[in-house]
Amino acid sequence: MSTTTRKVDLPVIGMSCANCARAVERALGRGLPGVASATVNLATETATVVYDPGAVDVPRLVAAIERAGYRALAPAEADEEQAEREAEGRRERRALAVGVALTVPVVLVSMGRDLGGPGALAHAPWVPWLLAALATPVQLWTGWGYYTGAWRSLRSGGANMDVLVALGSSTAYGYSLAVLLAPGLGHHVYFETSALIVTLIRVGKALEVRARGHASAAIRKLMDLAPRVAHVVDPDGSERDVPADRVAAGDVVAVRPGEQVPVDGEVVGGRTAVDEAVLTGESVPADKEPGDHVLGGTLNGHGRVLVRATGVGARTVLARVVRLVRAAQATRAPIQRLADRVSAYFVPAIVAIAAIVLAAWWAGTGEFVPAMVRMVAVLVVACPCALGLATPTAILVGTGRGAGIGVLFRSSEALEVAHRIRVVLLDKTGTLTRGAPALTDAVPLAGGDPDFLRLAACAEAGSEHPIARAVVEGARAWGLPVRPPDEVVAAAGSGVEARCGGRAVRVGRLPWVEEGAPSPGPAAAAGAAALSAQGKTVMAVAVDGRVAGLLAVADEEKPGAASAVRSLRALGIEPVMVTGDNEAAARAIASRVGIDRVVAGVLPDRKEAVVREERRAGRVVAMVGDGVNDAPALAAADVGIAIGTGADVAMEAAGVTLVRGDLDGVPRAIALSRATISAIRANLFWAFAYNVALIPIAAGALHGAAWAPGFLRDFHPAMAAAAMALSSVTVVLNSLRLSRVRV
């Protein structure tokens, strides 16, 4: 998106199928200069519009949608949207209640008539009038939405499912009314058929809406995590409650046991354990103490802590997660294009087929009524709701499931492409490794001071160099007390000399350390060579003029890196390390995590070239990285996967972000993509197969087949309505399985 355009998500109310979504897209795209693109998501009922604010504004976009016959709201009207959707839900429930209450007696009376009930019921002249009185409110009130929807669709130049339902039910109702008013036209009325069509489809839509509500539960759960109130601590130590969105960066807030953290920030007082599962998927609470970072929306455990706010409101990780998930759910996956192309021509084709069926049966039998029943069944059974829901509901649930396990897809395209990945290129530093050196070895030499590690840490205690910090932290991790040196002198490029408790200590490169101490013999050189061969940085330590030991520092692999690589191999994917580090260091890490292919010594601008070489070889490539230098390669890959603990620019360039920063998110993202695409394909298959199978049956293809069950030989329009409603519910329920898939 260029700097001259903006993007807005507009809630749209009143859509019923994929053709409604297309009508809204046409309304936004036609005659509105400045609209770069418009994408409507039926599952989330939103229109995502990219537009030039200099040529068109949001009120004009809203007006265009409303001219097409749908209700649209500006994005700032969140409360109004909620109120409008609740009001629409109440109207739908009232209409459904009336439909059920009146359709049940219509069906019972009709069954009594058709099955030879009591003579008065079977032949009384008032019975058809009773059926008409009961069916008319169903047709004109419960079913009124189908007429308005059909009119909107036809007026905008398309044809949606409402057209089919309105045509089918109106045909049965209109014929029955004509028979009632002009008995010479026939003797049998079909008010129960029209009432059943309207009511059963309403029931199906209600079930579908309920299921879609479950599908969007993940994003609602994330939105509900943000607490409304924060306890701000004033300089005098007193606390005051303020709305969480009014906390400013730098404010200190108190988080009590059992409360959700209201801001992103740094712990400045107290200790606790924080449950971060809602954002990272990690089930084990993370211990927090002063200096550690916490995320807004996570759950504080047993301790009271003070947190200095660094990210508030829309700048929190939680807010960014919600934005990413919403953006992904609003996009259209490439796999949906087939369904879109089919739905554009589907309804007109079905109307034509229904007309042919009517003409063929009327001409073949000489009777209008059986032909009309066949036509109505074809119109009703072919409604393309399931086709329109097949892809967006699976994307909705799949992206929501990803957010729940700490895997954020920036677009539905990234979610779709990820299932075809065959090669994963992994950056080393910060991705496979921790990104900071750590003390790995402390090797004593014969005749040296056994306390050499503590003394080396003392000598390095005043330095901010990463290697010096690694030595100090390593000594502390081994339980050794670290005190500052009495005096220290740095030798640039070689090491440091210090006095610690009256002892002379020298730490640095082995040749430099040996200059001021007797040679320890070949053992030191051999030990240093062995450690260097493992890709480690080696230092020697001399105490009081004698070389006492060797220290080795290395950037260690992350916990779980080896298991993530094994999981990738289990998915049939080749892991490859791409790093700017030297060959020895790279292969040392690669061998420990199980990677066979290593591309070492790659400068930052060459990583992108490596990605392109893999793609030219015909492979679908994912690039995993965390740094600014990885951004070009992330953008060049088929799917870029950013470590969430890394640089923001890397996350902006990537199609997938791993919130936890753990590599096990890579195979989980790919497995989730495969499960989602599998669900979409199943949905599309059943949506197409359902129509391919039932349209001929509704048209009477099995009428003379003695082997077929009676209900298939004479496929009643009411059964067509039930089957149509069931198909939509089936598609949504199949998508909902993704919320429980194990990845």
Catalytic residue IDs = 427
> Closest by alpha carbon to 48, among 329, 318, 334?
329
> Closest by alpha carbon to 280, among 414, 395, 402?
402
* Residue with tokens 């990285």, as numbered in its chain: 625
Give the per-residue SS3 of 436-488.
CCEEEEEEECCCCCCCHHHHHHHHHCCCCCHHHHHHHHHHHHCCCCCCCCCEE
Residue-wise DSSP of 269-332: E--EEEE-HHHH---SPEEE-TT-EE-TTPEE-SS-EEEEEEE-GGGSHHHHHHHHHHHHHHS-
> How are beta strands 597-599 and 574-578 bridged, if at all?
parallel
> Closest by alpha carbon to 66, among 9, 13, 144?
13
The 8 Å CB, 24+ separation contacts for 320-325 are 321/222, 321/279, 321/403, 321/408, 321/659, 322/219, 322/222, 322/223, 324/403, 324/408, 324/409, 324/410, 324/657, 325/218, 325/219, 325/222, 325/399, 325/400, 325/402, 325/403, 325/408, 325/409
Q: How far is C-alpha 693 from the chain's CA centre?
A: 33
624 three-state secondary structure: strand
Backbone angles phi, psi at 498, to 5 degrees: -150, 165
Helices (H), 52-190: 58-67, 78-114, 119-123, 126-137, 144-155, 161-181
- Measure the CA–CA gap between 417 and 674, rounded to whole angstroms: 9
334 three-state secondary structure: coil
- Measure the CA–CA gap between 655 and 413, rounded to whole angstroms: 9
User: What are the residues facing 542 on neighbouring strands?
Assistant: 506, 547
**Residue 218: CB atoms within 10 Å:** 21
Contacts of 74 (CB under 8 A, 6+ apart): 10, 58, 59, 62
> Closest by alpha carbon to 508, among 468, 470, 480?
468
Q: At what angle do helices 368-381 and 161-181 cross, to 10 degrees?
A: 160
- Whole-angstrom CA distances from 659 to 632, 651, 665 are 20, 10, 9
